[in-house]
């Protein structure tokens, strides 16, 4: 079994207010994942694959023993979708069907992100079998949201016989690995990882993000926002 965190953000994730949403570079994320003994991560920045591309370049250059699944967390008009295995960016704020069409055009995997998070209507959409059937899996545990929301997601997956994964939704490197998806694979390859997900050859090990880490994250986001507003710039995805 190989240990994966399937929902990680870097400085390539942007935020309208904060400027950046993840406070660590793709390279820092890779180093942290290796440090804690992960075998792979999915870099899922908001509406961009650039973080994953940078992570792949870093892994190759430094010969780091870590599998990078390039992806994105794509905002639709209804909620967020995690896409694993992207080679091109997908436009934000399309319909769910349009977004999944674009994901499948790249032979990538479509996963519902935190369907019961407070600011999403994705759970309601999933009641529609024509939408539900197009997803490969549902994020049933997200280390950054409430226990109630995660329990609802797990219950939904059980009721509708869908596949479930876990992800930390880390925006700070110390939160990586709080939610781990174990994949039953022998070879570290994207194809084998996808096969394990689609065939439910997985186990989940989950914990929540500590409050001290959340506090540290938002202190740093606030600092970045101040730097942005006074024209000092901020860490960006270059």
Confidence of residue 236 (pLDDT cuts 50, 70, 90): low
Q: What are the domain boundaries of the chain?
A: 2-229
Give the integer Cα–Cα distance in Å for 75 and 90: 10
Question: Is residue 234 over pLDDT 90?
Answer: no
Where would I find the H helices in the chain? 26-35, 50-62, 96-105, 122-125, 129-132, 147-160, 190-198, 211-229
Interval 179-223: pLDDT, tens: 999 999 999 999 999 999 999 999 999 999 988 898 888 888 888
Average of per-residue pLDDT across 135-157: 97
- Distance CA(142)–CA(158), nearest Å, equals 17
Structure tokens belonging to residue 92: 């934000």
Q: Which fold has domain 2-229?
A: TIM Barrel (3.20.20)
pLDDT at 93: 97
Residues 56-70: tens digit of each pLDDT: 999 999 999 999 999
Structure-model confidence comparison of residues 228 and 111, the more confident one: 111
**Mean pLDDT in the chain?**
93
Tally of CB atoms within 10 A around 203: 11
Is the predicted pLDDT of residue 232 greater than 70, yes or no? no
Q: What are phi and psi of 36, to 5 degrees?
A: -95, 5
Dmax of the chain from CA atoms? 51
pLDDT tens-digit readout, 171-186: 999 999 999 999 999 9
Given a cut of 70, whether residue 151 has pLDDT beyond it is yes
Quote the tokens at residue 97. Answer: 């069907």
Cβ atoms of 29 and 65 within 8 Å: the answer is: no
pLDDT, mean of residues 111-121: 90
Per-residue pLDDT tens for 19-33?
788 999 999 999 999
């Amino acid at each position: 079994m190989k240990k994966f965190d399937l929902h990680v953000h870097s400085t390539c994730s942007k935020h309208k207010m904060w400027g950046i949403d993840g406070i660590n570079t793709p390279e820092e994320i890779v180093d942290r994942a290796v440090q804690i003994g992960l075998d792979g991560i999915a870099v899922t920045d908001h509406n961009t694959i650039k973080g994953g591309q940078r992570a792949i370049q870093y892994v190759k250059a430094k010969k780091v023993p870590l599998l990078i699944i390039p992806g994105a967390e794509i905002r639709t008009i209804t909620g967020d979708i995690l896409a694993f295995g992207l080679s091109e960016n997908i436009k934000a704020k399309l319909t769910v069907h349009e977004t999944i069409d674009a994901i499948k055009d790249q032979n990538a995997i479509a996963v519902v992100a935190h369907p019961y998070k407070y600011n999403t209507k994705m759970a309601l959409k999933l009641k529609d079998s024509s939408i539900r059937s197009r997803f490969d899996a549902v994020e049933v545990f997200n280390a950054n949201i409430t226990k109630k929301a995660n329990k609802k997601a797990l219950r939904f997956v059980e009721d509708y016989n869908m596949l479930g994964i876990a992800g930390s939704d880390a925006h700070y490197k110390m939160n990586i690995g709080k939610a781990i998806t174990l994949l039953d694979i022998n070879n570290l390859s994207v194809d084998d990882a996808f096969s394990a997900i689609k065939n439910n050859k997985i186990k989940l090990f989950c914990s929540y993000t500590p409050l001290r880490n959340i506090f540290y994250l938002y202190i740093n986001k606030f600092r970045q926002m101040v730097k942005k507003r006074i024209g000092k710039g901020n860490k960006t995805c270059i």
